[in-house]
Amino acid sequence: MRIIKDLKEMRVCAQKSRSLDLKAVFVPTMGCLHDGHRELLRIGKRLGGLLALSIFVNPAQFGPTEDFNSYPRDLERDLRIAEEEGVDIVFTPLAPDMYPEGYSTYVEVGGLGERLCGVSRPGHFKGVATVVLKLFNLVMPEAAIFGKKDYQQLLIIKKMVRDLDLDIEIIEAETVREPDGLARSSRNRYLSAAEREAARAVPEAIAAAKEAFSAGLVEAPLLIGKMKKIIEKQPRAVIDYIKVCDKDSLEDLDKIETDGLVALAVKVGRARLIDNCVLAKGA
Ligand code: PAF
């Protein structure tokens, strides 16, 4: 496994791999790897070719009052996991190299970035799209893998790839969950035992929406009301949003005619938890 910190070295390595017709599959991460990341790496491994992983806590996607400084970092453990999963290249750039003095170019993501998480995290998706484009340019992958837990991020990356004519296939991976249903996330580490208990309400709310939809409930306010009731039973949980929206544009829906996305963000202690599911008639 080759570990590359230097941007130029990464580019030379990517160019060399391309010239040898070695196709790279890329998993971008902010480290603190968990089973969700392992699943992305396993999908990449199955695709064959070179498996590239990046570990970079991207300052550009954190707001001024967010957890950039305290975001969990454990490179030694991450490298062990990368080795176990058969990663070929780990790219670990440094922030001053990615954003040197005077850096000023960003990817504007438009309306998609302003809905759902974009409301309480303004500029977040601009930071995500910018770093992902930079990483794509440095790693030069043929395909990149993103998890559906970050559904809005996935949509935005797919749109960026289309809008900017990038020659990269975006592969979607299912959300990996804890045994009680909580979606795996690096930020789950922030939860105390009592908060972890309260966090179960998030997947429970998703499950309740699924069940109600299967039983014929399609009106957004009623589905949202059901989910809200479950979250509000937990005094430690503070709702940021619960939405029923179009699964492509993320615009609010009044009711689900054929399909729709149910998405929510809930703060439990220091952890901001997100989850979602697509509801579709006849699925
Ligand atoms: O999902 C993440 O971990 C990050 O948002 C990403 C895609 C690695 C960009 O920093």
Segments making up each domain of the chain, as ranges: 2-173, 186-280
283 has pLDDT over 90: no
Q: Give the CATH class of 2-173.
A: alpha beta
CATH fold group of domain 186-280: Pantoate--beta-alanine Ligase; Chain: A,domain 2 (3.30.1300)
Output the six-digit token pair for 219.
Answer: 């009106």
pLDDT mean over 131-153: 98
CB hemisphere CA count around 253 (13 angstroms) = 25
Averaged pLDDT score across all residues of the chain: 97
d(CA 269, CA 283): 35
- pLDDT 10s digits, 29-67: 999 999 999 999 999 999 999 999 999 999 999 999 999
If we measure between CA atoms, which residue out of 142, 138, 133, 169 comes closest to residue 22?
A: 142
Q: Residue 273, exposed/middle/buried by CB under 10 A (0-12, 13-18, 19+)?
A: buried
* Ligand 1 residue neighbourhood (C-beta within 6 Å): 28-30, 58, 61, 128, 131-132, 150, 153
What residues form DSSP beta bridges with 273? 266
pLDDT of residue 282: 85
- Model pTM? 0.97
pLDDT mean over 255-280: 98
- Active site members: 37
Distance 187 CA to ligand 1 centre (A): 13
2-173 and 186-280 share one fold: no
Name the closest-CA residue to atom 5, ligand 1.
128
pLDDT mean over 127-131: 98
pLDDT mean over 179-190: 96
